[in-house]
Structure 1
Amino acid sequence: MPGGTKRTGRLTKRSEFLAARKGRRLNGPYFFVETHLRDDDAPPRFGLTVTKKVGNAVVRNRIRRRLREAIRVTAGEAMKPGVDYVIVARRDVLEVAFGTLTDELSRRFDRFDPGQSPNAHQRRERRNGV
């Protein structure tokens, strides 16, 4: 595997996607990532969501292919074991440079702290008056 040595799995069941929805959400300009901490140390898994609002089937599949390749090439290294990631894409994924896309994915994966509760960052912002 060029660029990466870590194996990643895929989310396939609706229940896995829904579980990630209850976890922490990491926003970005081209997509947002929903995370779910599992009870094991198995390799990380990811799922992709591209809604019909983004475009027709050709556009949605192209976005999915770009995201899968970005994870395979570099961003998969930043994924933590025992965590499920659901990437919900926006249309801007098509226009952004591939290097920027991989950087943004890695940045979102690095921001996830498994020890932090899902809404801890919101509570901290409320306390600080943000």
Structure 2
Amino acid sequence: MDQVPAIERLKSRPQFLAAAKGNSQARGAVVVQRLERGDGDPVIRVGFTATRKIGGAVVRNRAKRRLREAARALVPAHGVPGSDYVFIARMGTADRPWERLLDDVKSALTRLATPRTALEDAPPTSRPPTSAGQDS
């Protein structure tokens, strides 16, 4: 049986800002950011945030509580050891049916756990300029 890595909380603003520089996946009612720390420590650190854009304090707190519970259920199985994760609540997080919220979190974690290919890391190809704005 695999050893479940220890899970800790992100507590300081610099930790959240560092995680924002990693990869991110938006799925339904949640955005998940992941940063591979590369420090050799297998601990998974998680943090949660919700902006005022999604509602007042009651709505934000409910959204974060739901994300904490989803992370508690899914990060041990789908998280990558040595990573920091930030879960960002979106508009529907507080009201989304629980099973759909779990699906959103699971699919974001799974996508972030798969290594990126060289094709995905390449910058987007430029398209030829369009003739928009020119008179014919």
TM-score of the pair, normalised by structure 2: 0.78
Q: Aligned letter for 2:103?
A: D
Q: Aligned letter for 2:35?
A: H
Number of residue-to-residue matches in the alignment: 123
Instruction: Flag the structure with larger Rg.
Output: 2
Name the structure 1 match of 2:72: 72
Name the structure 2 match of 1:88: 88
Q: Deviations over 1:39-97 (max 9, x none)?
A: 22322111111001111111110011111111112344211100101111112012211
Q: How many Å separate the matches in 2 of 1:41 and 1:120?
A: 29
Which runs of 5 or more structure 2 residues have no equivalent in the other structure?
A: 128-136
1:25 aligns with 2:24: yes
Which runs of 5 or more structure 1 residues have no equivalent in the other structure?
A: none
Q: How many Å separate the matches in 1 of 2:7 and 2:101?
A: 18
| Structure whose residues are more often helix by fraction | 1
Q: How many Å separate the matches in 2 of 1:90 and 1:109?
A: 16
Q: Aligned letter for 1:92?
A: G
Q: Aligned letter for 1:64?
A: K
Of all paired residues, the percent bearing the same amino acid is: 34
Secondary structure, counterpart of 2:69 in structure 1: helix
Secondary structure, counterpart of 1:47 in structure 2: strand
Q: How many Å separate the matches in 2 of 1:6 and 1:56?
A: 34
Q: How many Å separate the matches in 1 of 2:19 and 2:111?
A: 16
Question: What CA RMSD, in Å, does the superposition of the two structures yield over aligned residues?
Answer: 2.5
The verdict on how the C-alpha distance between 1:105 and 1:76 changes in structure 2, with shifts beyond 3 A counting, is farther
Q: CA deviation at 1:21?
A: 0.9
Name the structure 2 match of 1:49: 49
Q: Aligned letter for 1:97?
A: P
Q: CA deviation at 1:99?
A: 1.3
